[in-house]
Amino acid sequence: MDEIITYSANTNTNELVPTTPKELGQAANQIAEQTVFQDYQSRKSKNTLKHQQLDLLCFEEYLASINPSTRVTDTMNNPKAWHGITWGIVDGFVKWLLMQGYSLATINQRLTTVRIYASLANKAGIIDSTELLKIKAVKGYSLKEARKIDAKRQERSIPTRIGRKKHDATPITKQQLESILASLPNSPQGKRDRLMLLLFTELGLRVGELHSLECANFNLEAGTITFYREKVGIEQTHKLTSRLLEAAKDYITNYANGLLWRGSIQGHGLTNQKLSIRAINKRIRLLGSKVGIATLSPHDLRHYWATQATRSGVAIDRLMQAGGWASYAMPLRYVQAEAIANVGVVEKLE
């Protein structure tokens, strides 16, 4: 049977060049292989890519530790950097992370990133499919295993977390929160801090979500706020509580001057420079220190919000939607346990 001939335009001469379907397919594959990493990354948020970059830099550090003579770089952008990566190397990476003292959550996240980019390298023709299946079979650590593994690491004086991120949330009581709010001065800075605290504790915002807010996000007449939740890729409208609405009206109308999170200099009021996320974290820590909480963070205030909501009888599905979570597992992790385990249950049975 004669081979079917097709024709494509030569962009240099405008001539038709005969090309077989097989050759066309091979050319298409080559183009796709060259752009597979870029195409994947174009679909991801900046925050996701930032975390993946850190994960892969750590993977490159591990590769350097096992073979100092060959430095592997740019595993995030260059498919060829994955040449020679095997399931044994990935399995060793997981164990290395464990011995380095990374938290199990971080280990699992970094393993996930390596699996993702190994799959992309497979599409680019660098890692074969058999090896990829073995790489995907490398397991992280479950919550059930965490306690035993961390206990063994502690016995060997191996840390169970690297960095400043806390293992557990710092609890804050309702009385402590009200004490902080009552202590805020009747000043532009005090008005700003009040609005900030209430957005964390009465809406459960993440610090990044709060930082991205602008005056235009608030509809003061309707008593609502509309904002984008980058972590889950959705836009939501929330109703403001009465005192949150009051705080928003007071600050935005009288002090924001078009810039919601204005910075401040002690004794000099508010500036026209926007507060950074780091400055917001530092401010919350300072406010917590006023009631004897040394390590209070915006995330702790989100814990507080979730805990108060469930203790008030909010159903878990409503909490999941209000908090911007993608699954039921996450809000359950954010809820602080009761001192009496069956509070809210025994009363229903009596």
pLDDT, tens digit, 9 for 90 and up, residues 30-52: 666 678 999 999 999 888 898 99
Distance CA 307, CA 338 (A): 9
Beta bridge partners of 49: none
Mean pLDDT to the nearest integer, 188-211: 96
Q: Decide yes or no: CATH 3.40.640.10 for domain 174-336.
A: no
Most confident listed range (67-81, 100-114, 283-297): 283-297
Distance CA 230, CA 159 (A): 32
Specify the higher pLDDT residue, 141 or 338.
141
Token pair, residue 316, equals 């878990």
- Residue 1 is predicted with a pLDDT of 46
Distance CA 310, CA 216 (A): 31
Return the DSSP state at 320: H
The band of 7, judged by pLDDT with boundaries at 50, 70 and 90, is very low
Token pair, residue 48, equals 């996701």
Secondary structure of residue 219 in the 3-state scheme: strand
- What digits encode the pLDDT tens for the residues 265-281? 876 789 999 999 999 99
Question: Taking the model in full, what pTM does it have?
Answer: 0.61
CB of 206 within 8 A of CB of 269?
A: no
Q: Mean pLDDT check: name the lowest of 25-29, 255-259, 316-320.
A: 25-29
Can you point out the beta strands (E) in the chain?
A: 6-9, 16-19, 218-219, 224-229, 234-239, 262-264, 270-274
Distance CA 222, CA 191 (A): 21
- Residue 169 is predicted with a pLDDT of 76
Q: Mean pLDDT check: name the lowest of 78-92, 266-280, 322-336.
A: 322-336
Helices (H), the chain: 21-41, 46-66, 87-100, 104-123, 129-136, 143-155, 174-183, 188-203, 207-212, 242-251, 277-289, 298-311, 316-323, 329-334, 346-349
- Residue 47 is predicted with a pLDDT of 81
The band of 68, judged by pLDDT with boundaries at 50, 70 and 90, is confident
What does pLDDT average to over the chain? 85
Question: Can you tell me which residue has the tokens 């917001």?
Answer: 280
Beta bridge partners of 270: 264
Give the angle 113-165-195 at the CA atoms, nearest 5°.
110
Distance CA 308, CA 291 (A): 19
pLDDT over 90 for what percent of the chain? 58
- Residue 161 is predicted with a pLDDT of 60
Res 160 pLDDT > 80: no
CB of 91 within 8 A of CB of 131?
A: no
- What digits encode the pLDDT tens for the residues 278-308? 999 999 999 999 999 988 999 999 999 999 9
Distance CA 136, CA 131 (A): 9
DSSP 223-276: TEEEEEETTTTEEEEEEPPHHHHHHHHHHIIIIITT-SSEEE-TTS-EEEEEPP
Distance CA 248, CA 240 (A): 9
- Residue 24 is predicted with a pLDDT of 56
- Residue 153 is predicted with a pLDDT of 75
- Residue 37 is predicted with a pLDDT of 93
The band of 244, judged by pLDDT with boundaries at 50, 70 and 90, is very high
CB of 223 within 8 A of CB of 240?
A: yes
- What digits encode the pLDDT tens for the residues 132-153? 999 999 998 887 777 777 777 7
